[in-house]
Amino acid sequence: MNLDTPSLLIQQDTMERNLMSMVGFAQSQHIALRPHIKTHKSVHIAKRQVEEGAVGVTVAKLDEAEVMIDGGIEDIFIAYPITNKQKANRLKELTKRANIIASVDSEVGAKALSDTFEGEVLEVWIKVNSGLNRCGVEPGEETVSLAKYIAALPGLELTGLYTHAGHSYGAKSNEERKSIAKYEAESVVKSAKACEVEGIRIRHRSVGATPTFMDAGKVKGVTEIRPGNAIFYDMVQVGLGIAQPEDCALTVLATVVAKHSDRIVIDAGSKSLSLEKGAHGNESVVGFGHVIGYPSLVIERLSEEHGVIPIDEQCELEVNDTVEIIPNHACVVANLFHEYVVCNENEVVNNWPVDARGGLK
Amino acid sequence: MNLDTPSLLIQQDTMERNLMSMVGFAQSQHIALRPHIKTHKSVHIAKRQVEEGAVGVTVAKLDEAEVMIDGGIEDIFIAYPITNKQKANRLKELTKRANIIASVDSEVGAKALSDTFEGEVLEVWIKVNSGLNRCGVEPGEETVSLAKYIAALPGLELTGLYTHAGHSYGAKSNEERKSIAKYEAESVVKSAKACEVEGIRIRHRSVGATPTFMDAGKVKGVTEIRPGNAIFYDMVQVGLGIAQPEDCALTVLATVVAKHSDRIVIDAGSKSLSLEKGAHGNESVVGFGHVIGYPSLVIERLSEEHGVIPIDEQCELEVNDTVEIIPNHACVVANLFHEYVVCNENEVVNNWPVDARGGLK
């Protein structure tokens, strides 16, 4: 390989192994897999996920949904509350081109969607808060109350409940992580049962972020998992014990551009590695990425285009040597690059665009 | 304005005022202005800067240089060490299309450039370390030594010294910031004199990051300033006392997508505001951006597409209200969006692409 740097590499065999692991788990539990594409933002990878059995994909933004539909993906769950007329109108255009499920977590949002879709029917799922304390209604009574409200609206068909246990990224032990996964699944399963007691059928009960899908996905009553990061993994997942460094399929290739007695400087900074150390409070992360093959090196400081790594006199890295870095948070790093350089056994085999990059709306 | 969100707004009159302030200062000191475009990455804004008197622009990466040349900018300083043959070859292509000055801070780099340009002449400046402790040779003896090495190479013409006092972003007082500016200027001016004692003429002595250009630019012997962020300003600059919130020309427009008793959630997260709190250690920054008109609100947590703001019962913001946020670090935020929405007195007057966005190589 003689690549210009910084470059964003995918180890294809590692990615494929991660994909088959997700698929295999879902099949073993007889549940659906609807991976979140906000991690890779790639039509090519989304298609691979569907080819291997995913029932569709999950997206956060309408921009992401549009890119996936343009790429030929036909089933899309938009796991983000759409609350106003402007976005509801964009959503309506998308429902003409693909099977779309939208998300609701407020009466305001439900009303906006129903008004827009009146005369037609939009499939929606309620977002339940399972402890991340971001969006979502509370499990139990509050969920049932919103379900009843939706059931009475003309433009909506409620078919599912879902949650995202993003706080599992900050779990301090395996036990804590498993306990979050259990609560995550139960918050949805029990809320679904409470809705069904009221005569509102809830076919889909969707859970499972990357740290929790293998635990939450085993809870009886769960019908679907939505891992995103698990296609690549990263140092936050390694810190959680969910993955090993060799499971991490995404890396940043950087060049040493300066060497001084106390430091080397690489050409990857906050515009390629991001300043993430785990957005939901993960404390395992050291520095701004893991330099493969150099476990004692810490990327201590990032400017926009420079990474500074303290060294001692043992450091054999010289100016123009390259290093491969596993990022702390793969999802935000992929969003910083134009394209993936796809590698297989150290050969470049392909380039894939990061299609939905910067699709924030 | 009825814009989809999150959107990246420029207040055009504020930006123009910031531009004229930079230009006016440089003219008053009879020094050159060569603004860094890594902040805005926009051909349109670069052209405005040149129209108003900038002698050219500064870029970090060859990708940025290419975009600027494609856009018609003719004088470019690449303020980043180019150390290997691959990048040197790319650089050589650029010198056929524009006046380029390259940066050197090592013999390895100087040799690579000279070998590539042998038979022609590449203009280079030496990068001097003025305390950021990233790239750059030490002022004085080490600078003179590299200058002599370069003077003996066939492919290079040394015409300047430059430095970047990025550590001024972490200054804890106005005195500390001014002291950094003074040292910054002196590190270059004194090193230039030391070179001239050895018979090596140094025409250009270039300094002046946004926090320091108005102090360092006044030091006798300095010939040029290179502020980048000053075209927009941001909350780090406000924290340093360099700007007021009303000087900040760049904002992110976001929508409230959820309201709970203890928090609101906005549709701007780490993929639009970044997790920056000042890369070089600025401690003034509170949360992940300043919500204009709501001084008591703190954007406490960011997920990729969500910002979480704690509230009390006084908070009048409701779902679907929009807020305008001054980011902590404008340069990385601009790099996350496809385009600027240019506003004048609350009217949208234009859209400008973030042309060099993601130009990392």
- Dump pLDDT digits (tens) for A73-113: 999 999 999 999 999 999 999 999 999 999 999 999 999 99
DSSP state of A128: B
Q: Do the Cβ atoms of A258 and B361 come within 8 Å?
A: no
Å between B320 CA and nearest CA of chain A: 6
Q: Which of B38, B112, B258 sits opposite A304 (nearest CB)?
A: B38
Q: Do the Cβ atoms of A338 and B319 come within 8 Å?
A: no
Separation in Å, CA A84 to CA A136, A148, B321: 16, 21, 10
Does the pLDDT value for residue B165 go beyond 70? yes
Report chain B residues whose CB lies below 8 A from the CB of A6.
360-361
Q: Do the Cβ atoms of A271 and B166 come within 8 Å?
A: no
For residue B84, the chain A residue with the least C-alpha distance is A320
Q: What is the pLDDT of residue A1?
A: 66
Q: Do the Cβ atoms of A134 and B265 come within 8 Å?
A: yes
For residue A103, the chain B residue with the least C-alpha distance is B257
Report chain A residues whose CB lies below 8 A from the CB of B134.
258, 265, 301, 303, 306, 308
Q: Which of A5, A136, A271 sits opposite B332 (nearest CB)?
A: A271
Helices (H), B30-95: 43-51, 62-70, 85-95
Q: Do the Cβ atoms of A335 and B271 come within 8 Å?
A: yes
Q: What is the pLDDT of residue B277?
A: 87
Q: What is the pLDDT of residue A284?
A: 84
Does the pLDDT value for residue B356 go beyond 90? yes
Does the pLDDT value for residue A183 go beyond 70? yes
Cis before B327 (ω within 30): no
For residue B253, the chain A residue with the least C-alpha distance is A361
| pLDDT, average across residues A124-153 | 97
Q: Do the Cβ atoms of A305 and B360 come within 8 Å?
A: yes
Q: Do the Cβ atoms of A338 and B331 come within 8 Å?
A: no
3-state secondary structure of B304: coil
Q: Do the Cβ atoms of A265 and B83 come within 8 Å?
A: no
Cα gap B208→B212, rounded to integer Å: 5
Å between A335 CA and nearest CA of chain B: 8
As a whole number of Å, the CA-based R_g of chain A is 21
Instruction: Look at A152-161, A176-185, B192-201, B269-278 and tell me which has the smallest mean pLDDT.
Output: B269-278
Q: Is the confidence metric ipTM above 0.95 for this complex?
A: yes
Q: Do the Cβ atoms of B106 and A259 come within 8 Å?
A: yes
Å between A30 CA and nearest CA of chain B: 30
- Dump pLDDT digits (tens) for A288-316: 999 999 999 999 999 999 999 999 999 99
Cα gap B303→B271, rounded to integer Å: 8
Tokens describing residue A298: 């810490």
Does the pLDDT value for residue B203 go beyond 90? yes
Inter-chain Cβ pairs, chain A and chain B, closer than 8 A:
159
Cα gap B66→B63, rounded to integer Å: 5
Instruction: Answer yes or no: are the C-beta atoms of A150 and A198 closer than 8 Å.
Output: no
| pLDDT, average across residues A136-150 | 98
All structural domains of chain B, each given as residue ranges with its CATH number in brackets, are: 31-231 (3.20.20.10), 245-353 (2.40.37.20)
Q: What is the pLDDT of residue A283?
A: 78
Helices (H), chain B: 12-29, 43-51, 62-70, 85-95, 107-117, 141-151, 174-197, 213-216, 235-240, 270-273, 330-334
Report chain A residues whose CB lies below 8 A from the CB of B105.
258
- What residue has token string 């926090």? B211
Report chain A residues whose CB lies below 8 A from the CB of B303.
134, 166, 279-280
Q: Do the Cβ atoms of B275 and A276 come within 8 Å?
A: yes
Q: What is the pLDDT of residue A208?
A: 97
Q: What is the pLDDT of residue B283?
A: 78
Q: What is the pLDDT of residue B280?
A: 72
- Dump pLDDT digits (tens) for B271-298: 999 999 876 767 789 999 999 999 999 9
DSSP state of A130: S
Q: Do the Cβ atoms of B305 and A106 come within 8 Å?
A: no
Q: Looking at chain B, how many residues does it have?
A: 361
Cα gap A353→A54, rounded to integer Å: 21
DSSP state of A335: T
Report chain A residues whose CB lies below 8 A from the CB of B135.
257-258, 265, 306
- Dump pLDDT digits (tens) for B125-159: 999 999 999 999 999 999 999 999 999 999 999 99
Crossing angle between the packed helical segments A43-51 and A12-29, to the nearest 10 degrees: 40
Q: Do the Cβ atoms of A134 and B108 come within 8 Å?
A: no
Percentage of residues of chain A with pLDDT beyond 70: 99
Q: What is the pLDDT of residue A135?
A: 96
Report chain A residues whose CB lies below 8 A from the CB of B61.
305
Q: What is the pLDDT of residue A279?
A: 66
Does the pLDDT value for residue B202 go beyond 90? yes
Cα gap B339→B341, rounded to integer Å: 7
Q: Please spell the DSSP secondary structure of B201-270, one letter per residue.
A: ---EEEE--TTTHHHHTTSTT--EE--SGGGT--HHHHHHTS--GGG--EEEEEEEEEE-SSEEEES--H
Q: What is the pLDDT of residue A282?
A: 76
Taking all residues of chain A, what is their mean pLDDT, rounded to a whole number?
97
| pLDDT, average across residues A267-271 | 98
